[in-house]
Amino acid sequence: MNRAGLGAAALAGALAVHAGPALSAILPLRRRFLPGLAGVGRPGHVALTLDDGPDRDSTPWFLRTLADTRVRATFFLLGVMVDRDPGLGREIVAAGHEVAVHGWRHRNLLRCPPRVTYADIGRARDRIAAATGTTPRWYRPPYGVLTTAAVLACRRLELTPVLWTAWGRDWVSGAEPEWIQRNLTRTLADGGTVLLHDSDCASSPRAWQGALGTLPLLARWAGRRGITLGPLAEHGLGTPRGDDPDGWRGPTRNNR
């Protein structure tokens, strides 16, 4: 192979290592082979998670509805959104909910080199902790794309990556609560993790209204089945801070 061919092969290999964990974004694969990363927890419980906030236009509505339905959730916060309204981050915690890290900005990590990925996650973790007085335990990458750099950053920052087992496609413009609920329950089972969004900062304008209307439907669905809706902290994933679910260590520093 000539020098150009070797260079191309090396580049392809580097990209494959960088993007390898992103295969976990394929829902059936991660549910089967990486259940902890997918958010498969203890029987009798479903974890409710909300991404992309906090947003003053929408998040307070979610807090009211969750209070009305007596459900607690895990909010995966964007650092830039917390920076705009740190008081709202404190309100989430004061209402009894859990906060977690969704990165500083909502961007696909496949486009980010390792140092940028680490800075993005670390900056978000620190800002969320400073604003809320709570050190986050969980990390979820935007779009569910978990790269090698993100895995390594989570180890250094003592965060545990977790994705989801069921989403409602609530970011679609005009999505109605009943439609979102049907999407959720196609793949939602006892012990699963639900993904919804309490902000439209990365989706169609006012898409959050569909997710908001879904919360009572989801609470009734769980109640009929004797399932408790709650935060990831009560979901029984059983991974100590800084470790990967299921013993999934990801690539080591020696094979980046």
Task: Give 14's contacts (C-beta < 8 A, 6+ positions apart).
Answer: none
- List 18, 51, 198, 200, catalytic entry: 51
Residue 191 region, left (φ>0) first, then alpha (ψ -120 to 50), else beta?
A: left
197 catalytic per annotation: yes
CA atoms of 244 and 187, how far apart (whole Å): 23
Contact 200, 53 (CB under 8 A): no
- List 18, 45, 102, 197, catalytic entry: 197
CA atoms of 180 and 55, how far apart (whole Å): 21
List, by residue number, the catalytic residues: 51, 197
